A = this chain, B = another copy of it.
């Protein structure tokens, strides 16, 4: 099991030649989980070939246009392509009025249901069988949330050879053992799960900051994550400006990553003033070496390390 992470847009506020407006999409099995949805996201999806017909959830960090204005065009194009599957949209209070206003004032016929979940406080906003998504209030100039996608641990690996050696016949008893119940074997002796089943296999975890000043609660949310995607709009020399505008610097993002003990940090939401990100990387890596700066279409697979 792995997660495919694709950065569709990595700019801050205003797009550049090289960077589209913010959006990161995570493909999990046949589902897309998108974090922020900047203008132009549908074209970036075309370019990245992620598809318009998959199960999909969109998590919006805040209601600034550069994070949400890709949604209307996405709804229109999905409808033109005759999507039928429900799309679920999560975001701060106000996102429902935005989507409804677009549906009222732009002419198109939606071919699929859009379910909107307005978020007003930190907590789990989406709880599925195999994963959940938790939101946490962040600190921007308007109400804002960061998100973590957390895969639930999978059952341990069952060892059929050991089960046979312990005289447990194949069938319902194997399933009971794998689900944590002790059983009696063919000769009436008790066999415990840990004799034939490996440890729980942990899932993957990705945290996404959205736009925010450095925020302790986000660090808590990201604890132990396989990947933290954190904004770093302005460099350290502009830390006062960053604080005023509700943003972070590379070393602030790196501090969050370090305290949270994440495995990897990727900086995004890069101001148009930085054409070359080497200096930005240096600032962050001083604090947290396993840092990279995203660019549009950066794509990688995140896979769990199996014991």
Q: Which residues of A contact B (CB under 8 A)?
A: 13-17, 20-21, 39-40, 42-43, 46-47, 62-66, 68-70, 72-73, 76-77, 80-81, 94, 97-98, 101-102, 104-108, 142
Chain B residues near A72 (CB, 8 Å)? 39, 65, 69
User: B106, A68: Cβ atoms under 8 Å?
Assistant: yes
Chain B residues near A64 (CB, 8 Å)? 76, 106-108
User: B17, A47: Cβ atoms under 8 Å?
Assistant: yes
Task: Name which of A17, A20, A107 has the most chain B CB atoms within 10 A of its CB.
Answer: A107
Residue of B nearest to A76 (CB): B65
Chain B residues near A107 (CB, 8 Å)? 62-65, 94, 142
Chain B residues near A15 (CB, 8 Å)? 42-43, 46
User: B65, A73: Cβ atoms under 8 Å?
Assistant: yes
| In the complex with contacts A13-B80, A64-B108, A65-B73, A20-B43 CB distance below 8 A | yes
Assembled-state Cα–Cα distance A77/B16 (Å): 12
Assembled-state Cα–Cα distance A142/B107 (Å): 8
Q: How far is the CB of A81 from chain B (nearest CB, A)?
A: 7
Assembled-state Cα–Cα distance A44/B186 (Å): 72
A20-B43, A39-B70 given; name 14 further pairs at CB < 8 Å.
Answer: A16-B46, A21-B43, A39-B43, A39-B69, A40-B40, A62-B107, A64-B108, A65-B76, A65-B108, A68-B106, A94-B107, A97-B105, A101-B102, A107-B142
